[in-house]
Amino acid sequence: MGACASISKSMKCEVGEAPPPEPPQEETTAVVTEANAANKLSHSLPLSLVVKNTASFSISLYIALRVVVMMGRIWNSIKELKAAMIMVVVQIAFAVVNIFYKMAANDGMKMTVLIAYRFLFASAFILPLALFLERKSRPKLTWVVVCQAFLCGLLGGSMAQNLYAQSLVLTSATFATAMTNLVPALTFILAISFRLEKLGFGTTAGKAKVLGTLICIGGAMLLTFYKGAEINIFSTNVNLLHKSQPHQGGHVASSHEEGGNQALGALLIVCCCFSAAAGLIVQTKMIQEYPCLYSSTAMIIFCGTIQAIIFGLWMERDWNQWKLGWNIRLLTVIFTGIVASGFTYTFRAWVVQIKGPLFVSIFNPLMLVLVAIAGSLFLQEKLHLGSVLGAVVIMCGLYVVLWGKGKDLKRISQLMPSKSSRESECIEIIATSSTENNTNMS
């Protein structure tokens, strides 16, 4: 066999087939050296060190994941705190509006002129905003929507604002602010009357809405007809109303001389609440026909602007009343038009999108508290026990109504998810109306 192998090998060499090349000696030596070094290094590392490094890596990864989770929770908390802080700023702005109303009236400015200028400034702010934000999602405009916008601008805009401003002058900022919390309850009554909402008295939510409405009405009667002892919060020498006005007593039962004007003021604020509630009913139908929040609001404010200007020119033909100088009048119309009806509306819309309408509505009592404190400190308005008790009762009734609306929304979203968005829009209008109709009738 060895001879055969030698013969075969010699035959391959004869036919010209070269033998396989052998690797260079230097490369083979280097590879063997590296392999030996790696083998020695692996044997030199103790097992305990490997386990320790693995455990350290696992702990570091766990800590990193916990930090990420904690940062997410902190971010959510900051987001919620941001929404709450924005709503506090909104309520402060609404409270300042009431103070500006009293100061402008004290300066001799007619409320019809102030309301006209307020709507004019609000239109200048909200119209470009609506044209920019909803330029691609705006549906076709119909005459039905235009008529609904006109009615909303009249009932919930110019008429309600003029009634509110006149009532504020005749009574007090605290009284007018407290009475506007009747709007959700009156809206519920009108919705039942026009069969836009079912009573549902057999359900817990229906009973809550009926009970809350009765509580609100009882609180309004208590606020109107019961005076009680005078309450002094703080004693300050600051009085932004330098002129003495006979209607600054702040309550309809303060004296026989003031009773006539303040009774008229109470009647005006009740009419304002009914007008605003009717406007909200029309606005609910309008949103269903034209589901663009900013564009529909812009149309309502624009219609309210035209109506307020026409009414103001009809009521006040003295051009000196329409002149705005560098005084409290200009500051009032700028703040109420741009800040109260412009920026705060945008802020509220953002909070409603991330937190819901009921979150916005729970901040309503804050404005009432701020107005009561500011009126007592800076306007020398007298605060009585009847005002406090009536306001507390109205707010309790408001929360009961809102709780019932929340239960309705939860039930509808569970049974018919497709209709939950429409119901949410309706609740958004009703739940936030007590604040909005004080200062921003859009």
What is the average pLDDT across 353-371? 76
Phi, psi of 64 (to 5 degrees): -60, -45
Which are the contacts of 310, defined by CB distance < 8 A and separation ≥ 6?
none
Token digits of residue 190? 């009108």
Give first-to-last CA distance, the chain, whole Å.
Answer: 110
> Using CA atoms, how far apart are residues 118 and 98, in angstroms rounded to an integer?
13
19-52 CB burial, b ≥16 within 10 A, e <16: eeeeeeeeeeeeeeeeeeeeeeeeeeeeeeeeee
Cβ(366)–Cβ(149) below 8 Å: no
Token couple for 252: 């309809």
Q: How far apart are CA 35 and CA 41, in angstroms?
A: 10
Q: Is the pLDDT of residue 149 over 80?
A: yes
pLDDT in tens, 257-274: 455 677 888 899 999 999
Condensed to tens digits (0 to 9), the pLDDT of residues 221-247 reads: 888 788 788 877 666 666 666 654 444
SS3 (DSSP) at 230: strand
What is the per-residue pLDDT across 395-409, written as a single tens digit (0 to 9) for each?
888 888 888 877 777
Q: Element (H or E) spanning 384, and its range?
A: strand 383-384
From CA 185, how far away is CA 213, in angstroms rounded? Answer: 5
Tell me which of 248 and 50 has the higher pLDDT.
Answer: 50
Among candidate residues 389, 398, 346, 384, the one with its CA nearest the CA of residue 132: 346
pLDDT given for residue 234 in this prediction: 64
pLDDT > 90: percent of the chain: 19
- DSSP letters, 302-318, are HHHHHHHHHHHHHH---
Task: Tell the burial category of 138 from Cβ atoms under 10 Å away from its Cβ (0-12, 13-18, 19+).
Answer: middle
Place of tokens 């300042």: 96
Identify the band that residue 16 occupies on the pLDDT scale cut at 50, 70 and 90: very low
- How many CB atoms sit inside 10 A of residue 105's CB? 21
Task: Identify the pLDDT of residue 200.
Answer: 74
Q: For residue 383, what is the DSSP state?
A: E
Tokens of 175: 């009284």
Q: How far is CA 435 from the centre of its chain?
A: 10
Instruction: Name beta bridge partners: 384.
Output: 230
Q: Are 272 and 163 in contact (CB under 8 A)?
A: yes
- Say which residue, 72 or 433, is predicted with more confidence: 72
Higher pLDDT, 77 or 198: 198
Secondary structure (3-state) at 171: coil
Q: Which of 20-34, 67-81, 165-179, 308-322 comes out lowest in average pLDDT? A: 20-34
Q: What is the pLDDT of residue 441?
A: 44
According to DSSP, the residues that pair with 230 across neighbouring strands are: 384
Q: In this predicted model, what pLDDT tens digit does every residue of 92-144 receive, in sequence order?
A: 998 899 999 988 988 889 999 999 999 999 999 999 988 888 888 888 889 99
pLDDT of residue 228: 81
pLDDT at 134: 86
Beta bridge partners of 231: 383
Query: What pLDDT sits at residue 304?
Result: 93
| For the chain, percent of residues with pLDDT exceeding 70 | 71
Q: What is the mean pLDDT of the chain?
A: 76
Closest CA to 109 of 312, 249, 358: 312
Length of the chain equals 442
Residue linked to tokens 């999108």: 353
pLDDT of residue 67: 72
Residue pair 342/122 in contact by the 8 Å Cβ criterion: yes
Distance CA 112, CA 308 (A): 7
**DSSP conformation class of 1:** -
- pLDDT: which is higher, 276 or 7: 276
Encode 203-237: b = buried (16+ Cβ within 10 Å), e = exposed: eebbebbbebbebbbebbebbbebbbeeeeeeeee
